[in-house]
């Protein structure tokens, strides 16, 4: 069988690519080693924020929000998108100065964001205790939000199938076939599948997949943990985060509180085992931020992986040495929210040869001895 494009990975990025490419008339096949959403996508907070420190991430997120807003209509399925805002705690004068700089940059790029005081923190999310949070202020962007990661990914799958994409689950790509520095296809389920392009959208396993094509990438898998509580009636709308404490939490559409924090035993590598130390730390910090949650039960606790790049920015675009091999990884904990724009840029490049400044600034080549600009506004 011959395809225009083979996509490796059935998370939000792989499935969005399948939709975007097939919509543009290309014949694509997606191979997922386990099941759709079995990687980070099915384990994530699915928060969508435009409050970043680098111009690039702000613009990619801002444009992604525009796509998310219309996505339920475009795909014909409800993806659970809502804009409850993101409230980012500011803990001291140094953080306030940094926040003022970030807010000025975000505003200059058209993002509706402002600094709020403790009273406004209480009025936006009455469950929060600014003193318990040790916050002197916060930044707030009302157009940030959240979508359901399962509904979004499966809506892409459904639309991609309608447009002719073949989607294979429980199908691990074991080899990437090359001829004279050009990809020719993949070997999966003992079959040789020919393709002009092969996309690495394998999340925290992208380093292993790149190796199949003889490419070294600087990514590291980092184990993260998250919890979800029992359902509550709606008590707040925004995602609450703190760069200093690393915590993030929000109330889901169905009422549960979902959140995470870096655990005391957090480490790099493929460790699936959840830790009790995380659970304790999360419960203590969450109830310091929102004391009313003290009597709420935690229902579930799981692990997932960030695919971390050296500058916490995604790595995208065609490999400079292996033609037809497309990078789409290194999302470092924000790959759900950036997926609409990143996959649009990649699909336009593959289908129409359209260039984008981000294919240069986010290329794998940026790590070659040059000074890199690190994204510092990361949590969890």
Ligand X SMILES: Cc1cc2nc3c(=O)[nH]c(=O)nc-3n(C[C@H](O)[C@H](O)[C@H](O)COP(=O)(O)OP(=O)(O)OC[C@H]3O[C@@H](n4cnc5c(N)ncnc54)[C@H](O)[C@@H]3O)c2cc1C
> Which residues of the shown chain bind ligand X in the complex (CB under 6 A)?
8-14, 31-34, 38-41, 43-47, 172-173, 201-205, 209, 224, 226, 260, 304-306, 331, 333-337, 380
Give the shortest CB-187-to-ligand X separation in angstroms: 11
Give the shortest CB-45-to-ligand X separation in angstroms: 3
Give the shortest CB-307-to-ligand X separation in angstroms: 7
CB 162 within 8 A of CB 291: no
Q: Where are the beta strands (DSSP E) in 144-219?
A: 145-146, 166-168, 173-179, 182-188, 191-200
Give the shortest CB-47-to-ligand X separation in angstroms: 3
CB nearer to ligand X: give 83 or 100. 83
The 3-state DSSP class for residue 92 equals coil
**CA-based torsion, 52, 333, 17, 175: positive or negative:** positive
CB nearer to ligand X: give 219 or 324. 219
CB nearer to ligand X: give 11 or 324. 11
Give the shortest CB-212-to-ligand X separation in angstroms: 7
**HSE, side-chain direction, 13 A CA sphere, residue 69:** 10
**Alpha carbon distance 238, 140 (integer Å):** 9
CB nearer to ligand X: give 130 or 380. 380
Backbone angles phi, psi at 106, to 5 degrees: -60, -45
CB nearer to ligand X: give 43 or 91. 43
CB nearer to ligand X: give 142 or 246. 246
Collect contacts of 113-116 with beta carbons under 8 A, ≥24 apart: 113/50, 113/51, 113/139, 113/140, 113/141, 114/139, 114/140, 114/141, 115/90, 115/139, 115/140, 116/87, 116/140
Give the shortest CB-356-to-ligand X separation in angstroms: 18
Q: Where are the beta strands (DSSP E) in 9-97?
A: 28-31, 47-48, 86-90
């Amino acid at each position: 069988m011959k395809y225009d494009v083979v996509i490796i990975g059935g998370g939000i990025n792989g499935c969005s690519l399948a939709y975007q490419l097939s919509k543009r008339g290309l014949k694509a096949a997606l191979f997922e080693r386990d099941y759709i959403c079995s990687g980070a996508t099915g384990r994530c907070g699915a928060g969508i924020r435009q409050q970043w420190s680098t111009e690039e991430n702000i613009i990619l997120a801002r444009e992604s929000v525009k796509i998310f807003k219309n996505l339920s209509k475009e795909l014909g399925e409800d993806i659970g998108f809502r804009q409850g805002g993101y409230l980012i705690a500011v803990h001291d004068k140094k953080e306030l100065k940094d926040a003022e700089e970030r807010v000025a940059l975000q505003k200059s790029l058209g993002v509706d964001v402002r600094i709020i005081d403790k009273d406004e923190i209480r009025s936006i999310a009455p469950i929060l205790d600014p003193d318990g949070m040790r916050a002197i202020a916060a930044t707030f962007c009302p157009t940030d939000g959240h979508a359901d990661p399962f509904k979004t990914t499966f809506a892409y799958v459904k639309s991609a199938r309608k447009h002719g994409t073949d989607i294979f689950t429980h199908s691990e790509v074991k080899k990437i076939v090359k001829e004279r520095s050009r990809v020719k296809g993949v070997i999966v389920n003992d079959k040789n599948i020919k393709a002009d392009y092969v996309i690495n959208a394998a999340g925290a396993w992208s380093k292993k997949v790149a190796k199949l094509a003889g490419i070294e990438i600087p990514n590291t898998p980092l184990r993260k943990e998250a919890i979800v509580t029992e359902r509550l009636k709606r008590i707040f709308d925004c995602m609450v985060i703190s760069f200093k404490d690393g915590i993030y939490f929000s109330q889901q559409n169905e009422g549960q509180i979902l959140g995470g924090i870096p655990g005391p035993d957090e480490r790099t590598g493929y460790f699936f085992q959840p830790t009790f130390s995380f659970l304790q730390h999360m419960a203590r910090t969450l109830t310091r931020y929102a004391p009313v949650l003290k009597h709420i039960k935690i229902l579930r606790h799981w692990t997932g992986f960030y695919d971390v790049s050296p500058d916490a920015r995604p790595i995208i675009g065609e490999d400079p040495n292996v033609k037809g091999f497309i990078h789409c990884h290194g999302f470092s904990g924000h790959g759900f929210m950036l997926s609409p724009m990143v996959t649009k840029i990649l699909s336009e490049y593959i289908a129409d040869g359209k260039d984008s400044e981000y294919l240069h600034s986010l290329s794998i080549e940026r790590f070659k001895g040059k000074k890199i600009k690190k994204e510092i506004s990361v949590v969890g």
